[in-house]
Structure 1
Amino acid sequence: MEKTVNGTVAQQIAEAIAIQIAEGTLMPGQKLVETDLSKEFNISRSPIREALFILESQGVVEKIPRRGVFVKEISFKEISDLYDVVYTITELAINRGIMICTREQIDELKRLIDEMQATIDKREVKKCHLVVEELHLRLIQLSNNNVLIDVYQRLNMRWTTFRYLTLSHPISLSRSAAEYSQIVKGIENKDFTEIPGILQIKKKRGMSILESIVRD
């Protein structure tokens, strides 16, 4: 039980650190000190250490022997490769799940889109990001394929940093709910035809935003 609780707390801390990286509060190359993070999150060093391990395993930070843990420098090529994989997995998951998903799953997707729109209307980017994270996971889960789901979850923390950056952009924020609505409409109608195109639009816009940030 203790492991489960600690794991949950560590995951939340890992995501909070990833968002700080996305916001620019933590910069590439910056050292992450356990004692400082422990004070910031008002928690013992054990879950902090676990959170840093999660981030390291997902390529967000790197541990350098005898020096410590640092925010990882990342190239646009790495971002491009990550986006290729994430959106390929998403398209595959929806294609597999579109004929087998349940009414309950579709209703849950619609509920999340409504919640997402509410956060957009209030300009609550952090809350919107959390909703989008859950929404995207639900899309992957439509596949009922544990390997696909596992691969996506392993990539998710690494993607969190970049998804938050793109979602913070006014154009992305205003269009995302409508695009997800179109995707869910296609799923509900069991019509996959337009879904790959919508995913490609989302992917290209995200990469365009990130390219301007990384190369500035």
Structure 2
Amino acid sequence: MEPDRLLHPLPTARRPLKRRSLHAEAVETLREMIIGGQLAPGARLVEAELCEMFTISRTPLREALRVLEVEGLVTFYPNRGAVVSIISAEEVLQQFEVIANLERIALELAIERMTKADLGRLNRMHDRMIHLYEAGQRRDCFQKDYDMHNRIVALSGNRVLQEMHAGLMARSRRVRYFALHSASRWNEAMAEHDAFMRAINDRDVARASILMRDHVLKTGFLVGEFVRDKGDASPEMLSRADRGPD
């Protein structure tokens, strides 16, 4: 689809950036605008408009856009400039295949290396996630789930794995919200979390890692089907996913 046919107006309010690092601030702000749906898939990222919005020059903005290109959130077209990337169901499934197996390896390493204190903290995170789920606070529960997965990867102690995982999580985060729309998947996912947490506490490396892999693959399949059926993320889709089933 031609990017010129996918124009979306930028938000009009100025968002001046802090001075600690214009490049880093631009990356963070644009990333959140894309993930949160303020910049829709296919939206053209006009440099002059963004520079005025953030009150920065073109150099840090262009550096930020290149970082987001690596993360898969921005696509550059020759003679057209940058647009917010459009993701396909096939790409979603491929991303989750890799994430699932990275997290399987991470959990194997984490179980071997985590201390008693590390395990205690992980259990508390899990308990908090379940509490949020039971209270019907889906968005907060989703964030806690996201934090738990990242914590397990951190406990692997493998920096190369962490960097690969972080990049893929940034690319997939925009569509991971779609898992929120399925009540049945929520129930299933919480049961899966209980199962692999029991295996972690039992120090059952083989069982825990397989349960983790399958848990992530199931989420990826659901998100991929959502994208296939209803298209890539948009503010309306994100809002509907947050509310859950109609």
Q: Which among 123, 131, 142 is matched to residue 110 of structure 1?
A: 123
Partners of 1:171 and 1:37 lie apart in 2 by: 40
Partners of 1:97 and 1:192 lie apart in 2 by: 9
Partners of 1:190 and 1:167 lie apart in 2 by: 30
The answer (yes or no) to whether the contact 1:63–1:70 under 8 Å persists in 2 is: yes
- Please name the residue that 1:69 is paired with: 82
TM-score of the two chains, using structure 1 as the length reference: 0.79
Deviations 1:138-194 (A, max 9, x none): 111222111111111121210111222223432333333332232222112111243
- Please name the residue that 2:29 is paired with: 13
Q: Which among 41, 57, 73 is matched to residue 28 of structure 1?
A: 41
The answer (yes or no) to whether the contact 2:74–2:85 under 8 Å persists in 1 is: yes
**Count of aligned positions:** 209
- 2:82 partner SS: strand
- 1:73 partner SS: coil
Q: 1:126 to 1:96 in 2, by over 3 A?
A: same
Say if 2:217 is the partner of 1:199: no
Cα RMSD between the aligned structures?
3.0
- 1:29 partner SS: coil
User: If you compute each CA radius of gyration, which structure gives the higher value, 1 or 2?
Assistant: 2
Q: Which among 101, 106, 114 is matched to residue 101 of structure 1?
A: 114
- 1:59 partner SS: coil
Displacement after TM superposition at 1:105 (Å) = 1.5
The answer (yes or no) to whether the contact 1:18–1:160 under 8 Å persists in 2 is: no
Partners of 1:156 and 1:179 lie apart in 2 by: 20
Q: Which among 95, 119, 123 is matched to residue 132 of structure 2?
A: 119
Q: Which among 159, 182, 202 is matched to residue 189 of structure 1?
A: 202
Displacement after TM superposition at 1:87 (Å) = 0.5
Deviation larger for 44-53 or 188-197: 44-53
Deviation larger for 85-94 or 134-143: 134-143
What amino acid maps onto 2:111 in structure 1? I
- Please name the residue that 2:147 is paired with: 134
Partners of 2:226 and 2:211 lie apart in 1 by: 23
Deviation larger for 153-162 or 192-201: 192-201
Structure 2 unaligned runs (5+)? 1-18, 231-246
Q: 1:73 to 1:116 in 2, by over 3 A?
A: same
Displacement after TM superposition at 1:135 (Å) = 1.1
What amino acid maps onto 2:84 in structure 1? V
Q: Which among 222, 232, 239 is matched to residue 208 of structure 1?
A: 222
Deviation larger for 81-90 or 129-138: 129-138
TM-score of the two chains, using structure 2 as the length reference: 0.70
Partners of 1:51 and 1:170 lie apart in 2 by: 37
Say if 2:97 is the partner of 1:79: no
Structure 1 unaligned runs (5+)? none
The answer (yes or no) to whether the contact 2:27–2:67 under 8 Å persists in 1 is: yes
